[in-house]
Chains A and B, each alone.
Chain A
Amino acid sequence: MRDVAVVSYVCSTTAREAVHNETEMIVPVLHEVVEKSGIPSKEIGFVCSGSLDYLQGGPFAFVAGLDAVGAWPPVRESHVEMDAAWALYEAWVAIQTGEVDSALIYGFGKSSPGDLHEIMALQLDPYYVLPQWPSMVDMAALQACAFLEANGATEKDLAEVAARSQRNARTNPNAVRKGDLTADEVLKQPVTHRPLRDADIFPITDGSAAVVLAAGDLARKVSKRPAWIRGIEHRIEAHSLGVRDLTHSESTRAAGVAAGVANGKVDIAELHAQFSHEELILAEALGLDASNTAINPSGGALAANAIMSAGLARIGEVAQRITNGDADRGVAHATSGPCLQQNMVVVLEGE
């Protein structure tokens, strides 16, 4: 396997991008991530993106993103209708084949134009579940309820996750929600989707994230401290909530084992927990302990959750901290589907 590293990362998120359309929104992000990479745009070997037509309300929405890339002369390019973490996976594979030595990956989407919680119901079983229209939050709340019931965790434990996220996010320029919140203050909030409170639920976010990957010597040439991908694995579970064990994330556990999470110290972990209980489930699945590992130092998805790029952003946030010397080894997690149905784990390390 070739050594592949993240050599640059840019993220730009806001509660509501009311002025720019999606193409205009991603132009500065793509330009900055390429410039920061130190690799000239026309030398980047492969471009891969992640986006969701249903966020934009029309088919082939991803094609507009290409206008921001500058795809001329023609480029090697692909797209997944998934969080761009999976676009990064496809790009990592392309580099492993030896066909290219570098890749630009980006994810984008606006959650504010539509009713995101309702749109995501279209992921659900088309015959038995969608006709009842449970929203994304209703589904998460069902998992939260099962988790609290089985695990013995309390609403206070959830509140602690929510509060810590907002406090960590104070230093994150991309955070949509940040503050000096305490768990007690969270508990004073009304329960809106039993057992979840507003602070337990990710904020609606518009935005994008981008990463440049480079292999071997190219990475060493352009980055002062590349964040090497030591392991990258993903797994999916069965679809129906009723057949899954909602209190554990088996696919995250399996992906984490395959990616080698336990092979070393985990200084930081960015977990794509869109709801507070998910962070507890994921940390357990990965064998992480908050006393040894800084969990979601960026504030995580509870601080900013631009659908289709938030998973990629978790990878970028870990990579950035390694490159900056704030950490030596970290784990990034990305999720897709209702209630953590599909999960990716990436282990990154600095030399």
Chain B
Amino acid sequence: MSGERVAVVGVGQTVHRTARKDVSMAGLVREAAQEALDDAGMTWSDIDAVVLGKAPDMFEGVAMPELYLADALGAVGKPMIRVHTAGSVGGSTAIVAAKLISAGVHERVLTVAYEKQSESNATWGLSVPMPFAAPLVAGAGGFFAPLIRAYMYRSGAPRYIGHLVAVKDRLAALRNPKAHLHIPDIDLKMVEESFLLWDPLRYLDVCPSSDGAMAMVLGSEKVADAAPGPVAWIHGMAMRSEPTMFARRDQVSPQAGKDCAKDVYAQAGVTDPRKDFDTAEVYVPFSWYEPMWLENLGFCAEGDGWKLTESGATGPDGDIPWNMSGGVLSSNPIGASGMVRFGEAAQQVRERAGDYQVELKTGRALGQAYGGGSQFFSMWVVGNKKPA
């Protein structure tokens, strides 16, 4: 990682729900931000800058919400930026915030990502029909389901693999009080019998639509050394983008994802992700994306992702648990989900993940977010030891 050392010194998160009718937009972000500040042992006046991230403004019908939220986020009189990189935005927002510190510009940065999509409707927001564009007759899942089919063909994966992930992540969510979906009696049968949406994706293979916010306080080395609680050091961070469509594009395992992983692993000195990480929080909004990202992120050889999933290796008793927070499959406030991944990875290495804490051996975890037509990637590696 370039520049000065950076650590996560505070993490906060709202309870994610279908609709947070108890709060306004400001109330929602504040809930996460206040928790992060309390965790960091800081007050609003300690913060140097605020970096806000969220997905399209159409979801809430507020353009450039950082302008309205400046007061709520203690940004008055300070620098404030709002990042928007589609679904990966929660991750890239954290990275922009971290760079302010690694560049030596600031020492304490508050970063927040949110979505209050119940104010409209996520399906509507994602598929506003635009003139001249080909009509979206298949919906959002209709873009990803064909890619899943292609993955199944290439890898020979059996049809039930996705359902295993759907069960695993929702069982994990039962131990996360902040998660949106708590389905106590979820099992393979329930998923298999749920409504078929886009073959092979069934209703329970797909993420919910959630309102929620995530926040972190990032600090410089000096700030981290003086932090009241455990910190998560950033060992590497990277972003990569590629165009939505181009000749011979591999949409199933995009090059931008591979390049991003390669970069972040090189920064962190990771050579064998499966061994070098204790856990990973990876953006899996459709169950099949677990095996697909296992391959794209180099946790196994190409074509073997489904075998890794099937073996239970990514489950709570496995050697590389994935998404023990419940993941995107259990909570998906679109603009926040990327930061939830980054923040949950930090919580794991800080041993602050409560009932879904994994056993730490290497003390390192990966956070990954993606967005657009699988074209925007942001990733970070965090660890509980200072990087070399």
Contact = CB atoms under 8 A, between A and B. Distances in A.
Whether A and B touch (Cβ < 8 Å) is answered with: yes
Contacts of B311: none
A90 interface: yes
Nearest to A64: B244
Contact of B243 (A59, A71, A122, A130): A71
B183 interface: no
Interface in B49-69: 55-58, 60-64, 66-69
Contact of A79 (B68, B84, B102, B103): B84
Interface residues on B, range: 35 or more
A60 B335 CA distance: 12
A66 B241 CA distance: 9
A341 B82 CA distance: 15
Interface stretch (B123-131, B165-173, B223-231): B123-131
Contact of B255 (A74, A94, A336): A74
Given A66-B243, A73-B255, A239-B68, A52 B75 contact: no
B68 A82 contact: no
Contacts of B238: 76
Nearest to B256: A74
A237 B241 contact: no
Contacts of B64: 52, 81-82, 123, 336-337
B313 interface: no
A285 interface: no
A108 B63 CA distance: 16
B84 A81 contact: yes
Contacts of B189: none
Contact of B246 (A72, A119, A336): A72
A122 B130 contact: no
Interface string A79-91: 1111000100110
Contacts of A89: 81
A66 B99 contact: no
B81 A53 contact: no
A55 to B, nearest CB: 9
A241 B52 CA distance: 22
A209 to B, nearest CB: 19
Interface stretch (A8-16, A32-40, A228-236, A265-273): A228-236
Contacts of B77: 235-237, 251, 254
B63 A76 contact: no
Nearest to A61: B56
Contacts of B69: 239
Contacts of A76: 238-241
A59 B67 contact: no
Contact of B62 (A58, A122, A336): A122
A150 interface: no
A71 B56 contact: no
B70 interface: yes
A62 interface: yes
Given A72-B246, A96-B105, A123-B63, A60 B86 contact: yes
Contact of B63 (A122, A125, A233, A237): A122
A337 B66 CA distance: 9
Interface residues of A, number: 58
A239 B71 contact: yes
A90 B97 CA distance: 10
Contacts of B58: 53-54, 58-59
Contacts of B99: 90, 93-94, 96-97, 99
A74 B256 CA distance: 5
B67 A336 contact: yes
A337 B376 CA distance: 27
Contact of B79 (A78, A94, A233, A238): A233
Contacts, number: 173
B75 A236 contact: yes
Task: Give the residue among A94, A127, A234 with the most B Cβ atoms within 10 A.
Answer: A94
A342 B244 CA distance: 33
A241 B344 CA distance: 38
B119 to A, nearest CB: 9
B85 interface: yes
B70 A75 contact: no
B372 interface: yes
B83 A80 contact: yes
Contacts of A126: 25, 60-62, 68
Contacts of B75: 236
Contact of A78 (B55, B78, B85, B255): B85
Nearest to B79: A234
Interface in A234-278: 234-240, 251, 254
Task: Give the residue among A99, A233, A254, A341 with the most B Cβ atoms within 10 A.
Answer: A99
Interface string B232-272: 00000011111110100000001110011000000000000
Interface string B69-108: 1110001111111111110000010001001101111000
Nearest to A129: B68
A188 B260 CA distance: 60
B83 A79 contact: yes
A107 interface: no
B3 interface: yes
Contacts of A287: none
Nearest to A258: B79
B246 to A, nearest CB: 6
Given A78-B92, A97-B3, A71 B241 contact: yes
19 contacts: A53-B58, A63-B244, A66-B375, A74-B242, A76-B240, A86-B81, A93-B99, A96-B3, A96-B104, A99-B99, A119-B63, A122-B57, A122-B61, A123-B64, A126-B25, A126-B62, A237-B70, A336-B67, A342-B70
**6 A-B pairs closest in CB distance:** A59-B56, A96-B103, A74-B256, A122-B63, A97-B3, A77-B241
Interface of B: 2-3, 24-25, 55-58, 60-64, 66-71, 75-86, 92, 96, 99-100, 102-105, 125-126, 128, 130, 238-244, 246, 254-256, 259-260, 372, 375-376
